[in-house]
């Protein structure tokens, strides 16, 4: 395995711990099938029969192939096996990441699985696989949320109850693109209730594999992956946040914490202004809220920072944007090994010297240490 880290200049010496709050694995259907519960044998046989399970079990489709210049579902250099803990630890060593909170890749399209029983079986298999292959080695630096099927909130609650107390489980991941109904709907109450009772934050990670059929519908009329991918993440986040706040999820689940992932930071101030404006103007439609939506965001929501976007033209603008967002709501994330990842320096070098040291340490790791209870 090539050691790419040698000789890299590091600037992160003043940060005690860098926590990557959105690190990915690149799981295959075959890997999941190996970990499927024996009780799900019949479903496993159906999935095995699919010549193209990404399309006939999941409904993944893109306008054009994802990330044509890089290995979208592989690793950064394509020189070691993907989907392994060795590959992940290699990335962590190269990029100076002390902790990684993992998310799936194919699993981000879990909401596109048409058969609810298959979705539940695949989620359970993923959890068994990720815990066994990545988390259970006792090192404590690789952590994971429980992946849950949004199609079946009652079964999701059972999965949460089953896995919540396992070492290394730090949240509940709801693959968040293509949710029907949207996540403010009471349909999801059993899922939120289980997360709240188990003191786990709910995490919402969008995915461009889930845009085939339902909102935000981009694949059908987008002619390129570039168009689809540019907007699926912020559109998903804005819609989901709007649904959850205006349907008063934070009031209905007062001890629940929320994490939004993969939409960057620039959309947050606009959305806060937009939601506060509608809260005041259309107040009879938001009786469940007791305060400005932005206050719930400040108090109970966190956002992983990647993708920051290209900020090189005016490097100081990123620090200004983070001041608008509220530094205490942000947590650094890399998205590694996906080819739109942000190394920690992409964030750190832009904000140090602009924000105070405490805010910088918070974004790079300390806030995540609290949210995911890593200490």
Partner 1 sequence: MSDGGRRHRVARAEEVAEPGDRVIVDVGGQEVAVFNVDGDLHALPNFCPHQAAPLCEGDLTGRMVVGEDGWSWEYVQRGEVVTCPWHGWKFDVTTGENVKDEAVAVPHYEVERDGGDVVVLR
- Site residues for partner 1 per CB under 8 A: 248, 252, 279-289, 291-292
The CB-of-275 to partner 1 minimum distance in angstroms stands at 12
Can you name the residues that pair with 8 across neighbouring β-strands? none
The CB-of-267 to partner 1 minimum distance in angstroms stands at 23
Cα(219)–Cα(232) distance, integer angstroms: 10
Cα(180)–Cα(187) distance, integer angstroms: 10
Nearer to partner 1 by Cβ, of 13 and 281: the residue is: 281
Cα(162)–Cα(198) distance, integer angstroms: 10
Can you name the residues that pair with 19 across neighbouring β-strands? 99
Extract the tokens encoding 105. Answer: 């890749």
Nearer to partner 1 by Cβ, of 285 and 316: the residue is: 285
Question: What is the bridge-based pairing of β-strands 142-147 and 301-304?
Answer: unpaired
Nearer to partner 1 by Cβ, of 14 and 291: the residue is: 291
Half-sphere exposure of 142 (CA within 13 A, CB side): 25
Nearer to partner 1 by Cβ, of 41 and 290: the residue is: 290
The CB-of-118 to partner 1 minimum distance in angstroms stands at 33
Extract the tokens encoding 370. Answer: 């609290």
Nearer to partner 1 by Cβ, of 73 and 246: the residue is: 246
The CB-of-52 to partner 1 minimum distance in angstroms stands at 44
The CB-of-174 to partner 1 minimum distance in angstroms stands at 23
Cα(325)–Cα(251) distance, integer angstroms: 22
Distances (CA, A) of 159 to 41, 122, 125, 149, 344: 18, 12, 11, 9, 33
Cα(213)–Cα(219) distance, integer angstroms: 8
Question: At what angle are helices 267-281 and 315-325 packed, to 10 degrees?
Answer: 30
The CB-of-284 to partner 1 minimum distance in angstroms stands at 4
Nearer to partner 1 by Cβ, of 288 and 309: the residue is: 288
């Amino acid at each position: 395995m090539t050691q790419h880290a040698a000789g890299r200049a590091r600037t992160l010496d003043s940060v005690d711990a860098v926590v990557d709050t959105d690190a990915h694995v690149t799981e295959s259907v075959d890997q999941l099938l190996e970990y499927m519960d024996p009780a799900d044998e019949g479903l496993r046989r159906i999935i095995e029969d699919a010549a193209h399970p990404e399309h006939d079990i999941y409904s993944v489709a893109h306008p054009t192939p994802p990330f044509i210049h890089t290995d979208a579902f592989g690793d950064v250099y394509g020189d070691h096996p993907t989907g392994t803990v060795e590959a992940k630890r290699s990335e962590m060593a190269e990029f100076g990441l002390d902790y990684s909170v993992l998310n799936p890749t194919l699993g981000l399209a879990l909401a596109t699985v048409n058969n609810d029983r298959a979705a539940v079986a695949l989620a359970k298999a993923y959890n068994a696989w990720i815990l066994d292959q990545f988390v259970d080695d006792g090192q404590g630096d690789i952590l994971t949320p429980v992946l849950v099927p949004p199609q079946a909130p009652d079964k999701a609650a059972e999965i949460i109850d089953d896995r919540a107390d396992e070492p290394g489980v730090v949240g509940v991941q709801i693959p968040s693109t293509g949710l029907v109904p949207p996540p403010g709907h009471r349909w999801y109450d059993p899922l939120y209730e289980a997360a709240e009772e188990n003191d786990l934050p709910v995490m919402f990670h969008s995915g461009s594999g889930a845009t085939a059929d339902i909102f935000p519908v981009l694949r059908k009329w987008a002619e390129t992956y570039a168009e689809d991918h540019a907007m699926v993440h912020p559109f998903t986040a804005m819609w989901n946040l709007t649904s959850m706040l205006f349907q008063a999820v934070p009031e209905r689940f007062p001890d629940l914490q929320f994490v939004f992932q993969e939409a960057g930071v620039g959309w947050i101030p606009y959305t806060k202004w937009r939601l506060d404006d509608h809260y005041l103007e259309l107040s009879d439609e938001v009786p469940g809220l007791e305060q400005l939506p932005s206050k719930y965001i400040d108090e109970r929501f966190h956002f992983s920072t990647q993708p920051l976007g290209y900020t090189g033209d005016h490097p100081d603008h990123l620090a200004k944007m983070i001041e608008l967002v509220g530094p205490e709501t942000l947590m650094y994330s890399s998205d590694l090994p996906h080819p739109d990842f942000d190394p920690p320096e992409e964030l750190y070098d832009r904000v140090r010297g602009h924000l105070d040291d405490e805010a910088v340490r918070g974004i790079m790791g300390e806030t995540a240490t609290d949210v995911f209870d890593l200490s």
